[in-house]
Amino acid sequence: MKAVIEEIFDDKVVLLLGEEEKEVVINKSQFAQLKDCKVGDWLDVKTEEGSIKYLKINREETEKVKKRIEDKMEKLRKRMDSK
């Protein structure tokens, strides 16, 4: 399952989990992998009985989504400049 980091507050990380984007709050200190995380990072997540048991930052997915957003923004800028 995939998740994206929506917000970070001190030791709390807010994730949007899965396609339904269910909001989940976890303690950053529970997962050493989150030490260097930032808003917008994508994660591979495994859950068990409703709890996150494993997560890993997915750099490839993060870059793919970032590129897609940058491309859309560039198209919007060009459209606005041509008016």
* Per-domain boundaries in the chain: 2-81
Task: Answer for the pair 25, 13: CB distance below 8 angstroms, yes or no.
Answer: yes
Query: Which ranges constitute the DSSP H helices of the chain?
Result: 59-81
**How does DSSP classify residue 49?**
T
Indicate the residue type of 62: T
For the whole model, what pTM was predicted? Answer: 0.83
Residue 48, beta-bridge partner list = 51
pLDDT at 80: 85
The architecture (CATH level 2) of 2-81 comes to Beta Barrel (2.40)
| Residues 9-37 pLDDT 10s | 988 999 999 999 999 999 999 898 888 89
Q: Which residues contact 2 (CB under 8 A, 6 or more apart)?
A: 18, 42, 43, 44, 45, 58, 61
Indicate the residue type of 65: V
